[in-house]
A and B are shown apart, each in its own frame.
Chain A
Amino acid sequence: MVGAFEQVLLALMIFVIMLGMGASLTPRDFYLALKRPYGLAIGVISQYGFMPLIGFLLITVLPLPDAVAVGVLIMSCMPGGTTSNIFTYFSKGNLALSVLMTVTSTIFGVVLIPLLLVVYANALDLEIPRGNIIVTLVLLLVPVALGMGLRKINANVGAVTEFMGSVLALFFIGFLLVSWVPRNWQFLMTTTPATYVAAIALGVFGIAIGYGFARALKLHPRNARTVALETGIQNGPLAIAIIAFTFTGTEAQSYVAVPALYALFIMIVATVVTLIFRRANTAAEQKLPDSLL
């Protein structure tokens, strides 16, 4: 679907974006998220407890061909990716928690993804591309650490990096949305409504249930928003890589339908959710009288 050059370009963009995200963080943010790992635990439960269940219920309820159903299941068992960190940043969520959740779920994923697929699909024997997992982690942690370092050395360099990173992130989201549709026009036309529903519902329910679960367990709205986005936004590229690793030919093509569709719609869903979260955040801010300029 994407060429090698595009892949490198995307990786480079993600690197710069995460550098910017990192520049918005301090070691203390991570320390605080780890000091009270309650939020992190809720996140992981939500990620690997609810998401696969949602995926399973969707393939049970919807009339989907087997290949598509497998795609839904694989997608629902994925950890969070950098996209969830970016949206958390723009939603004014807890970015440190988001990064930690992504790291935790990605590492746990090595064991949990095959296990979950066995539970829900009975005997699906998937190859987990460890190289891909390592790349995901490196592409996340290295720039974040570098960004934090930049900020520590010089607050202005950090702030400028963050600014550049966030501008690039907006461009990145816009670029993915705009370029996706024409590239996959044929695919969009031939996909069945049930597949659409599955691809969209996975993200929507994931975010909604993640938020509800976190709030029910009394997480602060800021952390609940983080858990919601982290739960609903899956690592799409990892799913595609896993499928490409495990299957070949037309089989891979039909398995990859849901992850591909999901990747498009989660961008739209997450953008809408981010706007809602930002509004909620503004509403919750302490109001100061205008006299305090």
Chain B
Amino acid sequence: MTQAPRPWTAFYGPGVRTDIDTPAYRNLADLIRSVAETYGKAPAFTCCLPNGMNGTLTFQQVDEMSDGLAAYLREVAGLNQGDRVALQMPNGLAFPIAAFGVFKAGCVLVNVNPLYTAQEMARQFEDSKPHALIIVDMFAGKIPAATRGHKIPTVIVSRVAEFLPALPRGIVGLVQKYWDRTVKPVDTPHIRLPAAIDAGRRQVTQGRVEVDAYHQSVRSDDVAVLQYTGGTTGVSKGAMLTHANLIVNMEQTMELIATHVRKGEEVALTALPMYHVFAFTMNLIGFYWLGARNILIPNPRPLVNLKRAFENYKITWMSGVNTLFNGLSNEIWFTDSPPRHLKFASAGGMALQSSVAGRWQEITGKPVLQGYGLTETSPVLTFEPMGKTRAGSIGVPVPSTYVICVDDDGNEVVQGEPGEIAAKGPQVMKGYWQKPEETENTMKNGWFLTGDIGVMEPDGYFRIVDRKKDMVLVSGFNVYPNDVEDVLAAHPGILEVAVIGVPDAAAGEAVKAFIVRADPGLTVEAVRAYCKEHMTAYKVPRRVEFRDTLPKSNIGKILRKDLRAEELAQIAAE
């Protein structure tokens, strides 16, 4: 594999840099401070709840409050540089404070999906061994079960309406406590986030500590985030994303749209959860860097939760996934009154269907730019240049990024032939956390193997053809058949099980389970109820089919590919 030429740079547009190798900042803490100095009292983050209640923090406030948290983590909680801090929170004003505080403390952030079951949390905690956990009160009840294997000494609890003005915060609190019943008293010893920030800020204002000293020696190639993914092999592991990975990847992507956005003037909508790598890099870090006002939506379900945000703010840029764009295109309040100030939308996480992109453009008059990448690549590898969108394509590689298609032996295929997408660039992770052999499996001669089969068009645009492995992609979230099968197989009424992904209009792919019953009375409902108890909702098989036997190889291995072929043939027949 040689360093291929980059025909795609022709699409970048005038003045766009073709190479962005080194980050403009030493580390993320540096970026946070420097951006805050530029934009000061301008609004940085606004959390908008479904009923329109909201709270805003300025760049300066975010800077000062994250300083406070950093000082708390280092001085009071006693963490050291490189220690891990798990963050398990939906979008809200507490998220940037927490994430930025961790970077400023010189610590490593571990993003945890708030919807994880205690079991799934436990697995991630045992692997990453965090020293502190910052969690939203709604899910704090899972802490005791989740920390049985690895005790977390410091627990900081936040809430959805954190840092909103007192009256709305109080109302939301009362509604959550007495009406929704989503918040219960937290039994685990903990400190509240505002109290932790105050404690840290006292240290800072009394001149006892210098927050900048915490990250003075954090280099750009030090790990900033452990972003968990099943990767291409299914074993859950933490991708080590460095400060350089994240800063550069954000800049690489921003560069392609630089001429269409104005620093300090955009209003961006973040409806996707920021614990996901796509929103983490592009929305949390990218919009902040851009000096944009970032409108955070704690929960976009149901979609009408976005209505007030669209009405109350002049949103110029939003990011989403196929499911979100499709959903909005079918909501009357959105189609009746599409955002008037929108310049464009960006999509990632899962394949954007051409029909969805087309309908979106029809309604809003503005394009959806699709990007492609993986957790391991921070995540953006390719992006559609503004004004040069192409149906069904994932765009062109971002600056300083080399993308080729290779065969099973690692040799580049003839242009136009499908092959596994391999990538090289400053955004490719340092490796998997404490899993050198897994790292070796995906990194070949300096190329990261994505496990996706793609095709390069003559001019350098790429298309995704298929996925190499069995992984199922439900709305941008990886589901590993092994994972789901393991849980199902433990059910006494189930004899054998095979799980595959099937095409799904709404989610891109849906999980389907083929089950051979041990108990003939077992119903589909019972299977799904059992799954809901034991796994995160997106992993729960949308479809369940009972069979008498499952196709197997001659050594008894269940053949998922045969089931998939059957399923696809059936769909084709319909």
Contact = CB atoms under 8 A, between A and B. Distances in A.
Q: Do they bind each other?
A: yes
Interface of A: 26, 28, 32, 151, 155-156, 158-160, 162-163, 220, 222, 282, 285-293
Contacts of A286: 302-303, 326-328, 330-331
8 contacts: A156-B55, A160-B53, A160-B171, A286-B328, A288-B303, A292-B273, A292-B301, A293-B300
A197 to B, nearest CB: 37
A179 B508 CA distance: 54
B303 A285 contact: yes
B549 interface: no
Interface of B: 49, 51-55, 90-91, 113-115, 164-165, 167-168, 171, 271-273, 299-304, 308, 311-312, 321, 323-324, 326-328, 330-332, 336-337, 474-477, 506-507, 536-538
Given A285-B302, A291-B474, A291-B475, A160 B332 contact: no
Contacts of A158: 52
A293 B300 CA distance: 7
A220 B334 CA distance: 14
**Which 8 residue pairs of A and B lie closest in terms of their CB atoms, listed nearest first?**
A290-B537, A286-B327, A291-B538, A159-B52, A291-B477, A159-B53, A289-B475, A293-B273
A110 B359 CA distance: 46
Nearest to B301: A288
A26 B272 CA distance: 26
B170 to A, nearest CB: 10
B506 A289 contact: yes
Contacts of A28: 311, 337
For A151, A286, A287, the residue with the greatest tally of chain B CB atoms inside 10 Å of its CB is: A286
B114 A293 contact: yes
B304 A285 contact: yes
A163 B323 contact: no
Given A159-B52, A290-B537, A291-B476, 9 more contacts: A26-B311, A156-B53, A156-B167, A159-B308, A282-B302, A289-B538, A292-B300, A293-B113, A293-B301
A32 B337 contact: yes
A286 B303 CA distance: 7
B158 to A, nearest CB: 15
Contacts of A155: 52-54, 308, 312
A288 B324 contact: yes
B323 A289 contact: yes
B539 to A, nearest CB: 9
B323 A159 contact: no
B336 A32 contact: yes
A288 B165 CA distance: 30
B51 A159 contact: yes
B153 to A, nearest CB: 27
B401 to A, nearest CB: 27
A28 B114 CA distance: 36
Nearest to A36: B336
Given A220-B332, A293-B90, A293-B114, A288 B300 contact: yes
Contacts of B171: 160, 163
A102 B302 CA distance: 30
A262 B164 CA distance: 44
A222 B330 CA distance: 13
Contacts of B327: 286-288
A155 B51 CA distance: 10
Contacts of B168: 156, 159-160
B273 A160 contact: no
Given A288-B323, A290-B538, A293-B115, A159 B54 contact: yes
Given A32-B336, A160-B168, A289 B53 contact: no
A292 B305 CA distance: 13
Given A151-B52, A156-B53, A289 B312 contact: no
Nearest to B89: A293
Nearest to B321: A292
A155 B302 CA distance: 21
A290 to B, nearest CB: 3
Contacts of A282: 302
A135 to B, nearest CB: 30
A287 B324 CA distance: 9
A52 to B, nearest CB: 31
A156 to B, nearest CB: 5
Contacts of B312: 151, 155
B272 A292 contact: yes
A162 B538 contact: no
Contacts of A162: 51-52
A264 B115 CA distance: 45
